[in-house]
Structure 1
Amino acid sequence: MEVVLLPTPEDCARVVADAVAGSVAAAQEGGPVALGLATGSSPLLAYRELLARHRAGAFPTEGVTAYLLDEYVGLPAGHPESYLQTIRREITDELGIAAHGPDGSAADPLRAALDYEARLRAAGPVAVQVLGIGANGHLGFNEPGSSLVSRTRVKTLTERTRTDNARFFDGDVEAVPRHVITQGLGTIREARHLVLVATGGAKAAAVAEAVEGPLSASCPGSVLQLHPHVTVVVDEAAGSRLTRAAHYRYVLAHKLADQGW
C-alpha cells in the first residue's frame, strides 16, 4: 500500500487523476477497459481534473466503459440523485463513455445484485477502481460488519450514513433510501489497482483505522491492506491521525522517477 500525504485537496486530485490515467492507459494496450468509479464528494476534484485533461487531449477514453460501486434501492430509474445519473453528470457523459451500475429500481433487487456481479465478472477485471471512505470506514456501501470476502449484494444503510447523505436530498433524511446494492469487499478487491481518496478532518479516524489499524470487518476500509496495488491519497487533514505520516512523506519524497502509482 502506498500512502500519499499531500497539503491540499487540489494536490490530491492531481495525484488521483495521474493514477487513474496511468492505469487506464496501460490497460488500453490490451483492449477494452473497465474503469471503476465512486460517487460522493471525495473524488469530485479528481473527476474535474480528468475532464480538464480529456478536453486537452491528455486523457483519451477509447474503449473505456465505467462501472459504479453501488446504487440506491427504490429510487425510480432516472432519479437525479441515483448514482448512475450522478456519475453521468459528474464525468462520464463528457468523457463520452458508457456508465453501468446496479439496477436499484428493479422489482427484485436481490436478483439485480447477482446480475450486476455477473456483469462485472464478464467485463472485468476492473483496471482501476476509484474509492472514497465513509466516516465509519465503509467502502462502497459495505458498512461496518460486512464480510471482507463479500460479493455484490443488497445492504441496509446505517442511520449515520443516511444522515450523512441527507444533504443530497434537501436535508431530508427520510428521503434517503434505507437499502442499496453494493459491490462487496471481495468484488472490489478484484480490481487491479485501488485508488482511495479522502480529504478533510472528518475522514481522519477512518483513514487511520483503514491504513494502520487491524484488519477487521468493523472497519471495512481495512480490507485495502490485503490488496497488492493500493494508492491511498489524503490531504493533511484526513491524514492527521496517521502515526507513520513522516515515513509516508519520506517515501514520497524519494520515489523513483519511473515508479508510477
Structure 2
Amino acid sequence: MRLVILDNYDLASEWAAKYICNRIIQFKPGQDRYFTLGLPTGSTPLGCYKKLIEYHKNGDLSFKYVKTFNMDEYVGLPRNHPESYHSYMWNNFFKHIDIDPNNAHILDGNATDLQAECDAFEKKIKEAGGIDLFVGGIGPDGHIAFNEPGSSLVSRTRLKTLAMDTILANAKYFDGDLSKVPTMALTVGVGTVMDAREVMILITGAHKAFALYKAIEEGVNHMWTVSAFQQHPRTIFVCDEDATLELRVKTVKYFKVISTLNMGLEFTNLQKWHAFLTSQQGDPGLHYTSKKGT
C-alpha cells in the first residue's frame, strides 16, 4: 500500500492524472490489446479528468484503445438527467476525448431487470480481461462506489439502498431537495474493485480525513468499506494535506519520506522536476511530461 500526500487538491489531481496517463502509455494499447480503466464520479475526480483531457488535447494521450467501466449509477434517474452519472461522464470527460462510445461502459439504472444488468456488467468486465487500473473516490463515511457501511467486502455488482448520509451529501446536486435524490443505485462491489490489478483511491478535503484514518491506520472493517484495500497487493491512496488531519504525525512523516525517496517531490523547480522525471525508470507515476513542455 502506498499513500501519496500532495499539498493541495490541484496537485493531487495532477499526480493522479499523470499516473493514469503513464499506465496507459506504458501498456502500449492497440487494436488487439485494450487497457481497461475503472472510473468514479463525484466532485473529487473532476480535477483529474480535466488534466487527462489536457493531456489528450496536447496530443500526449489517446483513449482509442481504452475500455472504461464506471463504478455506479442511480436507479430510476433518466439517462439524460443532468445529475445522472451518464451525463456526468459524458459532459465532464468522454465527449472531450477520443474514446469509442461502445467502449465506455456505465450501468443502466433504468434496466427492466436490474440484477441481470449487474450480472451483465460483471460479465463485460471479465470479457475485457479484467480491470487494469480502478480509480475510485470515497464518501466521508468511507464508502467506495455505493458500497455503503456494512457492505460485504466480497460483494459484486448489485443493487444498493443508499445510506441517509449519502442521500444528504448528494442533495446539493438536486437543489437541496431530498425528495429529488435517488435512494437506490447500481454499484460495483468491493470484490469487483478488489479484482482489479491495481487500485488508486482519491481522497481530498478535511471532511474525508476521518475516512482516510479509518482506511489506512485501523483494521479492515466492513463499516468502512475503503479499508478493504489494505489487503490489495497494489493500492495507492492519493490525498491532499487536508485529508491527513486525522492521521498520526508518525504516519504522515513515514509516507512523506517514502514519497520523497521514490518521487523526488522535494524538487520545486520545474526544470529540475522534469529532469528528475526523465531520469527515473521504475515508477510510472513519475514519467509524464507533455510533448509541448507543459
By the TM > 0.5 criterion, same fold? yes
| Cα distance in 2 between the residues matched to 1:115 and 1:66 | 15
Displacement of 1:93 after TM fit? 1.4
| Cα distance in 1 between the residues matched to 2:37 and 2:188 | 14
| Cα distance in 2 between the residues matched to 1:52 and 1:194 | 23
Structure 2 residue aligned with 1:69, among 65, 68, 71? 71
Q: What fraction of aligned residue pairs are identical, expressed as a percent?
A: 36
| Cα distance in 1 between the residues matched to 2:258 and 2:282 | 12
Displacement of 1:108 after TM fit? 1.9
Match of 1:53 in 2: 55
Match of 2:234 in 1: 229
Structure showing greater radius of gyration is 2
Match of 2:267 in 1: none
Match of 1:258 in 2: 281
Structure 2 residue aligned with 1:175, among 169, 173, 180? 180
Whether the 8 Å contact between 2:154 and 2:191 is mirrored in structure 1 is yes
Q: Which amino acid aligns with 1:27?
A: F
SS in structure 1 at match of 2:176: coil
In the TM superposition, 1:90-105 aligns within 5 A as 90-97=92-99, 98=101, 99-105=104-110
| Cα distance in 1 between the residues matched to 2:80 and 2:123 | 23
Whether the 8 Å contact between 1:68 and 1:84 is mirrored in structure 2 is no
Where does structure 2 lack aligned partners over 5 or more consecutive residues? 264-279, 286-294
**Correspondence 1:249 to 2:256:** yes
Q: Which amino acid aligns with 2:89?
A: I
Q: How many equivalent residue pairs?
A: 261
Displacement of 1:258 after TM fit? 2.7
Deviations 1:119-150 (A, max 9, x none): 12112311211110110000000001111111
Displacement of 1:29 after TM fit? 4.1
Q: Which amino acid aligns with 1:245?
A: V
**Correspondence 1:80 to 2:50:** no
| Cα distance in 2 between the residues matched to 1:123 and 1:86 | 23
Where does structure 1 lack aligned partners over 5 or more consecutive residues? none
After the TM superposition, which parts of structure 1 deviate over 6 Å for at least 4 consecutive aligned residues? none
SS in structure 1 at match of 2:244: coil
Match of 1:26 in 2: 26
Displacement of 1:185 after TM fit? 0.4
Whether the 8 Å contact between 1:19 and 1:195 is mirrored in structure 2 is no
Whether the 8 Å contact between 1:28 and 1:63 is mirrored in structure 2 is no
Q: Which amino acid aligns with 2:66?
A: V
| Cα distance in 2 between the residues matched to 1:10 and 1:77 | 30
| Cα distance in 1 between the residues matched to 2:29 and 2:121 | 26
Q: Which amino acid aligns with 2:90?
A: R
Match of 2:129 in 1: 124
